[in-house]
Amino acid sequence: MPDTLVLRALAGAAFLALSALPAAAQQQQQQQQQPQPQPQPQPQAPAAPGDPFAGIPAAKAEDVASIDAILAALYGTISGDVGQKRDWDRFRSLFYPGAKLIPTGMPKDSPVARARVLTPEDYVSHSGPFVERIGFHEVEIARKTDHYGYVAHVFSTYDGHSQSGEAPPIRGINSIQLFNDGKRWWIVNVFWMQESEKYPIPKAYLPAAR
């Protein structure tokens, strides 16, 4: 998963300035938190006041039918050519209420690594314009899955590049937690780390040699 500030860090800028969200994003979040007089149709039962599913767009059935499908939809929604608008409602529809996206990295001149906790809406606000501008593409190149009952954990190794060349090529691992409610799969968390000289991706998480 690309995060605008993480990509800039790899290019030599400071990593993860832990500043407040832009005012527009804050206003948008406040509006989402306020009860809506006319709720939009939801993928579950009609939304009631306080319904945690309120505001989540209905998912395409084919996007959430399996682990393969929801991961393909996740990578597909953030990838595209320079200037291509992403379907951010499709992106939003993949995430369970309260889901988090958590990029990690080592700030410049810091002795400790940092993690930044984002909501899906934060991610759209922070990284959406950036990935559209640079033509970011990300693909899964390897996967390790653990699955028990209605929960699953995936180590999904990714490879990303920008069409514009504005950001350097990246690789890393997305640690993805998934939940099946009996009707569909949901993404609960995406927690990721980009590869570095200090931390190359272990062979166990790379494509098998042919």
Q: Is the pLDDT of residue 12 over 50?
A: no
Amino acid identity at 25: A
What confidence tens digit (pLDDT) does each residue in 58-77 have? 999 999 999 999 999 999 99
Provide the pLDDT for residue 195.
97
- The span from the CA of 126 to the CA of 26, in Å, is 12
Q: What size, in residues, is the chain?
A: 210
- Residue 41 burial (CB count, 10 A): 9
- The span from the CA of 45 to the CA of 52, in Å, is 11
At residue 84 the predicted structure's pLDDT band, cuts being 50, 70 and 90, is very high
Q: What's the pTM value of the predicted model, to 2 decimals? A: 0.78
Which domains does the chain carry?
Answer: 61-198 (3.10.450.50)
What confidence tens digit (pLDDT) does each residue in 110-160 have? 899 999 999 999 999 999 999 999 999 999 999 999 999 999 999 999 999
- The span from the CA of 151 to the CA of 142, in Å, is 20
What confidence tens digit (pLDDT) does each residue in 156-209 have? 999 999 999 999 999 999 999 999 999 999 999 999 999 999 999 999 999 987
Q: Exposed, middle or buried, 50 (CB in 10 Å: 0-12/13-18/19+)?
A: exposed
